[in-house]
Amino acid sequence: MLKDIWPSRAQVQEVVAKCVTPDLFKDFYANTMTRNERWNALDAPKGNLFTWTEDSTYIHLPPFFAGMTKEVPAAVTPIRDAYCLLNLPDSITTDHISPAGNISKTSAAAGYLKGRGVEAKEYNSYGARRGHDHVMARGTFANVRLVNKLVEKPGPNTKHIPSGDQMAIYDAAARYQEEGHALIVLAGKEYGSGSSRDWAAKGPYLQGIKVVIAQSYERIHRSNLLGMGILPLEFKDGQSADSLGLDGHEQFSFDYHGEHMRVHQDVTVVTSTGKTFIAKCRLDTDPEVAYFENGGILRYVMRKLL
């Protein structure tokens, strides 16, 4: 039996005491900083700040603080005539939203990398390139199983409402941003369920999404959305996009009934087709209100540091 030959704890300790000595550690760590010649040969920039470069396809300075002022905005920015980027059913998970897996050769992210001179064999995965916002933004909502009611077939496509053109979700989002339009997402129950992923909120932020209106949320994803300055609204009990006759072709305007937000306040949503409904604001605590009014938790923390 194994127990017949297994050494006792005392026997193991005796061998360890003889073989694992302080000199082993002294000898190993004495030349830690010099023994890796390739590492030591790297050209390391000097200075207190990271020297960002536009040449890298793995790491890029994200625009999370672009245009930020030191002062907290005096009022919540109103959202008027926003277009719907996606009209989603129930149980849309973070796997549908967040960039994950290998980068498909036919994806928007692959097109970007190809344009930067990267060969297909070196596209790698979204996980490897998670430090590059241009790649990750293109991989958001890029799941081939995504069901979007604005188009007929599952996949990472949507309709650009003003023109009626069907295109990749990222391309539509970029076109809307160039035209100066804010974006929203309509969703069903359990929006953002599954494992928590930060890029499931960062990606939509980079695509210009300002509001999500869902029947219900996964708890952490709701928190991540508002942490990026995306307003999570919830349909009133018994209501949904379908029950209200919304198909995603409308434009949406939001009345907060004041310049500042409150916990669980009602928000009036007015559509370009004349439909009006009340949605519940899913800012659940006073600190969450503060995060949102700062434009997200990143800006909130930065202003506290300043």
DSSP 203-248: HHHHTTEEEEEES-B-HHHHHHHHHTT-EEEEEPTT--TTTTT--S
Q: For residue 138, count CB atoms less than 10 angstroms from its CB and return exposed for 0-12, middle for 13-18, buried for 19 or more.
A: buried
**Cβ neighbour number for residue 66 with a 10 Å cutoff:** 7
pLDDT at 122: 96
Q: Do 212 and 291 sit in the same domain of this protein?
A: yes
What is the token pair recorded at 217? 């949320």
Q: Which residues pair with 266 in a beta bridge?
A: 280
pLDDT of residue 164: 96
* Predicted pLDDT at 97: 97
Q: State whether 8 and 93 are in the same domain.
A: no
Residue 131, domain member (yes or no): no
Domain span at residue 200? 82-98+140-305
Whether residue 144 is found in the same domain as residue 20: no
pLDDT bin (cut points 50, 70, 90) of residue 261 is very high
* Alpha carbon distance 248, 105 (integer Å): 30
Task: For residues 40-58, give the mean pLDDT.
Answer: 90
- Is residue 277 predicted with pLDDT exceeding 90? yes
Domain for residue 30, yes or no? Answer: yes
Considering the entire predicted model, what is its pTM? 0.86
For residue 45, tell me if it sits in a domain: no
The pLDDT assigned to 9 comes to: 95
pLDDT of residue 196: 84
In a domain, 48, yes or no: no
**pLDDT value at 34 more than 90:** no
Q: Is the pLDDT of residue 43 over 90?
A: no
How many angstroms separate the CA atoms of 249 and 43, rounded? 53
217: three-class secondary structure by DSSP = strand
Residue 189, pLDDT score: 97
**pLDDT grade, residue 35 (50/70/90)?**
confident
CA distance 258 to 182: 20
Summarize pLDDT for 127-162 with one digit per residue, the tens. 999 999 999 999 999 999 999 999 999 999 999 999
Residues 29 and 160 in one domain: no
Quick: pLDDT tens for 97-120.
999 999 999 999 999 999 999 999
Q: How many domains does the chain have?
A: 2
Across 22-26, average pLDDT: 92
**Angle at CA 150, nearest 5°, toward 149 and 151?**
90
Whether 293 contacts 73, CB under 8 Å:
yes
When pLDDT is averaged across residues 183-190 and rounded to a whole number, the result is: 98
Tokens of 206: 């980079």
pLDDT at 31 (0 to 100): 86
Same domain, 165 and 34: no
Q: Are residues 188 and 297 in the same domain?
A: yes
Position 275 scores a pLDDT of: 96
Q: Can you give the CATH number for the domain in which 187 is found?
A: 3.20.19.10
Residues 16, 154, single domain; the answer is no
Amino acid in position 53: T
In this structure, the answer to whether residues 150 and 276 fall within a common structural domain is: yes
| Residue 95 pLDDT level (bands cut at 50, 70, 90) | very high
| 160 beta partners | 165
Q: What average pLDDT does this structure show over 91-98? A: 96
pLDDT in tens, 202-240: 999 999 999 999 999 999 999 999 999 999 999 999 999
Structure tokens at 139: 């991989």
CA distances from 201 to 35, 128, 163, 208, 246 (A): 42, 18, 27, 11, 24
Do 262 and 146 lie in one domain? The reply is: yes
